[in-house]
Amino acid sequence: MSNRALTIEQKSFEIIDTEVGQHGYSQLEWNIVRRVIHSTADFDFAGSNGIIFHNEPIRSALTAIKKKCAIVTDVDMVLSGINKNSTKKLGLRASCHISDPSVVEDSIRLNKTRAQLAMQYASSDIHGGIVIVGNAPTSLLEVIRMVRENASLPALIVGTPVGFVSASESKQDLLELDVPAISNIGRKGGSSVASSIINALMLIHINNSQL
């Protein structure tokens, strides 16, 4: 990132800090929430329906990153938003299977969504890994099913799907699980929200390698 870009980003963070004022997040949590606001220009993510940290997700994520965990995303848009310099520096591998030919073929044959099947195909990476869902509620619901049935246990689930059908409900189901999760309440969310969360987590690890 150029010096000019860094200056603009820092100025943006200062504006966000000023406009939000006091909040109930810890410093590490705020690093994540502020980056979400930076990527969306939506201050609701710091409000009563803002980002929720469930079951010490930051600690779990940093431990998983230290172990070179896999990162699995629901859609290609989330994958493309993950900072490649950070994944390279940390030795992490991020993947999305929604466009795999076998997933597309089985989706037609089994009459299931590609987003749902993509998570099944990534089961081994999901176990002990980080799952990032920013677009498809069916992906999140499938991961929830896998956890409930002990088919896979991720170190962290980031669930911020956007939309009017099952998005809000899937987030509520996620927050009822006994797993580390970062999510929000309601219909808002999206790929930029999800990718900004994992980008913030990676930066926290890079800047606080002792954690």
Name 8's Cβ contacts closer than 8 Å, sequence gap at least 6.
Answer: none
Q: At what angle do helices 27-40 and 57-66 cross, to 10 degrees?
A: 90
Kind plus residue range of the DSSP H or E element containing 182: strand 181-184
Which alpha helices (DSSP H) does the chain contain, by range?
A: 3-20, 27-40, 57-66, 76-81, 84-90, 101-110, 114-121, 123-126, 137-148, 167-174, 191-207
Q: In which residue are the tokens 């749902």 written?
A: 116
**Active-site residue list:** 38
